[in-house]
Amino acid sequence: MTNRSGRDLAEIRADFPILAEEHHDGVPLVFLDSAASSQKPQAVIGAIADYYRHTHANVHRGIHKLSEAATAAFEDARRKVRRFINAESRREIIFTRNTTESINLVAQSWGRSQLKPGDVVISTVLEHHSNIVPWQILAEEIGFTLRFLPVREQGQLDLAEYERILREERVRLVTVAHVSNVLGTVNPIAAMAEKAHDSGALILVDGAQSVPHMPVDVRALDVDFYAFSGHKMLGPTGVGVLYGKRDLLQAMPPWMGGGDMISHVSLDGSSWNELPYKFEAGTPAIAPVIGLGAAVQYLQELGMEWVHAYEQQLTAYALERLSEVPQLELFGPSAAKEKGGVAAFRLADHHPHDVAQLLDAQGIAVRAGHHCAQPLHHHLGVPSTTRASFYIYNTEEEIDALVAGLYETLRILG
Ligand code: C6P
């Protein structure tokens, strides 16, 4: 399958200036840590530089030409994001700082105003801390019950337990990752959304590891809220997105107060701006938003079907090659088709930090630790793992380098 732009991998790699740099003296960089944060193509770096050179002014405020140009560029990025995830209206696209802030927005606005003692919120054992902690903080304050769906053998959620809780308890919200950042499990969001809705509950999806890697259509999935980060999808840090169905967002109170989110302010009280501005208090991350728009355009030029297919091919190759390495235990689904582009593993009983450090000395950047998923690691029975993660600019040769690096690590550590 070729990508929409018809460009080959060497041309795609050439779009990412950092990939041409040496990692250590004379050692080329093999970047296998995109699940933590992806690299940026020149199209994104250039869009941000151009904005600062030619267009910078505050948005939604000025009537001078520069402010109007900045506002137009900012809102154009919102339209690009809307199209990218097929939201119905640009008013359903709220710019936040990241996935974490998007989830906290739902907790602090919808959750705080809707949840009562005795209500139930379902989350899962495989969540990133950002989809656990905001709910724990709120549950402690309000007194609702937080339930966590268990994870089965191959990293899949226990859907029988899901249906049981939905049937027997007063579930108001299901909050679940689309793709696990450790196991790579792809959760069946459309089916889970349908079941949640049949029980009168809403569903919030953490899309931090899905939107960058596969086509996502929020209307086809029929999700109520969907959160993701710009920096994992070729965009800059400092910008994330919360998608929410318009009628839900309309009914929700603002979370943060300040400039831009108001319609009228007097000393006796204030009224709120229309969507999405009601949830965007203060000067927004203008340059990062414009950079995110460029990232979305870059991904769309390749085509998300191609992005997904290429990553699956790469993941299948990685799983096969990693299975050859002695004493390597891989976590999560063993078939690439059921998995996002991540491979988390243990190498003998070596500490993942030692493994990552020895790989780093060979120019290979991977992540080691609990990956902000401590409850999942507790379930796996290990305190931490080493994780390699893949994106559009990675190659089979880089996976070969990882495997060779692991053999070398075994040789050194014994
Ligand atoms: N995971 C990782 O190395 P922020 O930090 O808000 O942009 O994204 C948080 C987040 C939420 N959900 C999932 C599934 C994630 O993977 C992440 C970020 C990175 O796995 C950094 S901890």
Specify the CATH architecture of the domain 9-31+303-413: Alpha-Beta Complex (3.90)
129, 137 Cβ separation under 8 angstroms: no
Q: What is the pLDDT of residue 242?
A: 99
336/287 Cα distance (integer angstroms): 36
Degrees, nearest 5: CA angle 36-399-152: 60
Q: What is the pLDDT of residue 125?
A: 98
In short, whether 204's Cβ falls inside 6 Å of ligand 1 is no
218/200 Cα distance (integer angstroms): 19
Q: Which residue spans of the chain are classified as CATH 3.90.1150.10?
A: 9-31+303-413
Q: How many Å separate Cα 134 from the centre of its chain?
A: 16
In short, whether 100's Cβ falls inside 6 Å of ligand 1 is yes
Which active-site residues does the annotation give? 372
Q: What is the pLDDT of residue 61?
A: 81
In short, whether 91's Cβ falls inside 6 Å of ligand 1 is no
287, 236 Cβ separation under 8 angstroms: yes
Q: Is 234 left (phi over 0), alpha (psi -120 to 50) or beta?
A: left
Q: Which residues are bridge partners to 369 per DSSP?
A: 385
In short, whether 124's Cβ falls inside 6 Å of ligand 1 is no
Residue 96: name the closest of 310, 261, 212 by CA.
Answer: 261
Domain 46-300 sits in CATH at 3.40.640.10
262/274 Cα distance (integer angstroms): 8
In short, whether 123's Cβ falls inside 6 Å of ligand 1 is no
Ligand 1 centroid to 336 CA: how many Å? Answer: 21
Q: Where is 96: in which H helix or E strand?
A: strand 93-96
DSSP secondary structure of 127-148: --GGGTHHHHHHHHHH--EEEE
DSSP 377: H
Report the nearest atom of ligand 1 relative to the CA of 100.
6
Ligand 1 centroid to 405 CA: how many Å? Answer: 26
Residues 356-372: tens digit of each pLDDT: 999 999 999 999 999 99
Q: Which residues are bridge partners to 344 per DSSP?
A: 331, 387
| Sign of the four-CA dihedral 238, 3, 387, 155 | positive
How many other β-carbons are positioned within 10 Å of the β-carbon of residue 302?
18
Q: Which residue spans of the chain are classified as CATH 3.40.640.10?
A: 46-300
Please list, in sequence order, all residues whose beta carbon lies within 8 angstroms of the beta carbon of residue 244, skipping any fewer than 6 positions away.
92, 94, 106, 224, 225, 226, 252
120, 93 Cβ separation under 8 angstroms: no
Q: What is the pLDDT of residue 147?
A: 98
Ligand 1 centroid to 374 CA: how many Å? Answer: 13
Q: How many Å separate Cα 368 from the centre of its chain?
A: 18
Give the three-state DSSP class for 70: helix
Q: How many Å separate Cα 366 from the centre of its chain?
A: 18
Residue 401: name the closest of 32, 1, 109, 102 by CA.
Answer: 32
Q: Is 269 left (phi over 0), alpha (psi -120 to 50) or beta?
A: left
The segments of the chain whose pLDDT lies below 70 read: none
275 to 90, 92, 245: CA distances (angstroms): 9, 7, 11
Indicate the top mutation candidate among 128, 205, 225, 342 to test ligand 1's pocket, ranked by most ligand atoms within 8 A of CB.
128
262/31 Cα distance (integer angstroms): 44
In short, whether 195's Cβ falls inside 6 Å of ligand 1 is no
Q: What is the pLDDT of residue 220?
A: 98
Q: What is the pLDDT of residue 260?
A: 92
Give the three-state DSSP class for 344: strand
Q: Where is 176: in which H helix or E strand?
A: strand 171-177
Report the nearest atom of ligand 1 relative to the CA of 182.
20
In the chain the first and final C-alpha atoms are separated, in Å, by: 42
Q: Which residues are bridge partners to 27 per DSSP?
A: 24
Report the nearest atom of ligand 1 relative to the CA of 99.
6
Report the nearest atom of ligand 1 relative to the CA of 367.
3
